[in-house]
Structures are given as C-alpha cells and as structure tokens.
Amino acid sequence: MTAQPTSPQNSGFPGGPRLLADVGGTNARFALEVAPGSIQQINVLACADYPSLADALRAYLALPGVKAVAGAGIVHGAIAIANPVTGDFVRMTNHHWEFSIEALRAACGFEVLVVVNDFTALASSLPFLSDEQKRQVGGGTAQAGAPLGLIGAGTGLGVSGLIPSKCAGKDGGWTALLSEGGHVSFSPANPTEVAILQYAWTEFDHVSAERFMSGVGIELIYRALCAHRGVAREDIAVPEIVRRALDGESALCDEVVETFCCMLGTVAGNLGVTLGAQGGIYIGGGIVPRLGARFDRSGFRARYEQKGRFAQYLGRIPTFVITAEYPAFVGVSAILSDRLASA
C-alpha cells in the first residue's frame, strides 16, 4: 500500500476514489483507495464513540483530509465487518450496531456499497501478502495452488479459508469462505483445559472456541486458572494480563497466555485438517501479532501438530502470523473490484 497525496482529478479509478472499511467490535478502520494498491487517509475510529455505523462513516467522510481527496464525493465503497453477512440486514455480534446495507448505501450517497464478513475480506488478501507482511512459525512448506486457512483472535475469533477456483480446466482465482468457525464448540486437550471448560460452563451454556480465543477470552482463562489453582483473583483486564506475562512479572499471567496460544493451536490444527489447507494456515487478528516472540516460543505449533495419526500431515503445513498493519483493506478492495467488474 502507498499513501502519496492524491487529488480527485488524478484518481486512478473511473468513479473516483473508493471507500474501504474494516469494522470490528472495538474499532472501525476507514481508508480511501485512490488507485489500484494506493491506499491513504487511514483513520481508526472507536465504535463506542458513535451511535451507528452510518454516523462513524459520515464522521470519517467529513474529515478535512478525506474531503480534499474525495472531491465531489465517494460513489463506490466496500465494508468488511465482524459478523455474518447473509442478507440486507446486518446485526453485529460483538457490538450494538445494526443496519440495512441498502439504507446505509442510500444514506451515505454510494452508487455501489459492498458489505462482507471481515474474515472473508482478510482471506481475500492472503495471496497478495509479501514475505515482509507475514512471519512463519514452525516448519512446513506451502504448496502452490492449495487451500489456505485463516484464523484470528481479537474482539472475537474469526475463521475463514481461501479455496482455489477452476473454470474450464483453467485457474479461476480464489473463493473466500463465509465462515463463523469461531463459534464451534471448544475442545479441551488436557486436564487443565477440562477444568477451564468446566469453569466456563458456570458462566455460559455453550462454550465456543471464541469464548477463550479473544480478548475477553483471555480474561476468562485468567478467572478459570485462578479458580483452578486456588489463588486470589485480581480485577485486571486483558492488556494488564498480557503486559505482566510479557514482562515476566506473573507466572500465572504467563500461564494464561501460554494456555491461550495452545488453545489457538488446537483450533488452527482443526482448520488445517478440515480444509486440507496445504497452502498454509494464516493467523490474523489483533492479539497474536502483539505477543510477538512470546507466541513464537509458545506451545502453539506443538499443539497445532498434536493430531495423532495426522501429526505428520499437519507438520508439512506451515503456519504464518500476518504482520501487515491493515491487510483487510487489500482483501475488501479486491472484492469491490470484482463486484464492479461484473456489474
């Protein structure tokens, strides 16, 4: 992505600059794509500061820098959002925003507005990531043209995949999966995780993978381990838990982070065998990149390969942490371009 100043008169798109958005449960990220691959005016707005997505979108479009680039207005846009998108009406899973796509399009003056699941968009970005925008953890070698898997923990747990398409015997690009795999039932792998699951059942009727592999999930693991170890629980949130773990201040907090990483390995391995993702498993979301080297030396990769008779199968599949700062913009841009080309 590049970010050189651009005026509406020299935009590389016939319809002018395009709006791109990546909306999660905590933050809404907006940008303008002024020409293929040239993305600028990136702004991150806190979802809690706005009553609706339309309000956040209008606030972004009203920024002086955005108005200077947009000129007369934006007519084409694409939004990646953290929940299922199965029709016109969208209700967010981890935030209170809800809206009609058509009403949002009309209210904000778009001719074309595409709204897709955020991990569908992130999956669409995977073929475009450079070696500098991802970091391999463990062994394995990606097979060209094979399916790719994607997971990512943040406000929730996103899951998707990218499947190679064929048309009349020729390469036909990729198909991104619309998945809600973060809500599969959690599967413990050892007695400690059984105890953690039993604790979680005191709070939730159904304990999904997302209950643990998310920001609030790390807090849930902390509460469960305090109960399991019989130690006093402090009123601390995920940033403090992670800080104490990374700074070596708390063995308990470090166990929380280690447990999170291993649980994520289970889910990643499940995805690998489910999709036959021999092109690799990619890890996005906001949490893992922040763990840095602590994640690399965790039990993630060992747990990922811990599949009995399929250990060697998974050992050949590489795992990558996505290090690109705004990869979903790349994916949602590709989806919008495909939609406009087929219109």
Task: Return the closest-CA partner of residue 127 out of 89, 165, 77.
Answer: 165
26 carries a ligand binding annotation: yes
25 carries a ligand binding annotation: yes
23 carries a ligand binding annotation: yes
22 carries a ligand binding annotation: yes
Task: Return the closest-CA partner of residue 302 out of 343, 248, 264.
Answer: 264
d(CA 84, CA 86): 6
149 carries a ligand binding annotation: no
CA 193, 197, 203, 209 torsion-angle sign: positive
d(CA 5, CA 270): 44
DSSP state of 233: P
d(CA 51, CA 97): 7
Q: Where are the alpha helices (DSSP H) in the chain?
A: 53-61, 64-70, 101-108, 118-125, 191-200, 215-229, 238-246, 251-275, 287-291, 293-296, 300-305, 311-315, 327-342
In sequence order, the 6+-apart residues with CB closer than 8 A to the CB of 19 are 30, 31, 32, 57, 61, 74, 76, 77, 78, 110
Tell me which long-range contacts 222-227 makes (C-beta under 8 A, separation of at least 24): 222/252, 222/253, 222/256, 223/199, 224/195, 224/196, 224/199, 224/200, 225/192, 225/196, 225/252, 225/255, 225/256, 225/259, 226/252, 227/199
d(CA 124, CA 162): 7
254 carries a ligand binding annotation: no
Task: Return the closest-CA partner of residue 82 out of 155, 147, 20.
Answer: 155
Query: Measured between alpha carbons, how far is residue 85 from residues 19, 28, 82 in Å?
Result: 19, 17, 9
C-alpha torsion 236→83→180→258, nearest 10: -20
> Which residues are annotated binding-site positions for ATP?
21-26
> Which residues are annotated binding-site positions?
21-26
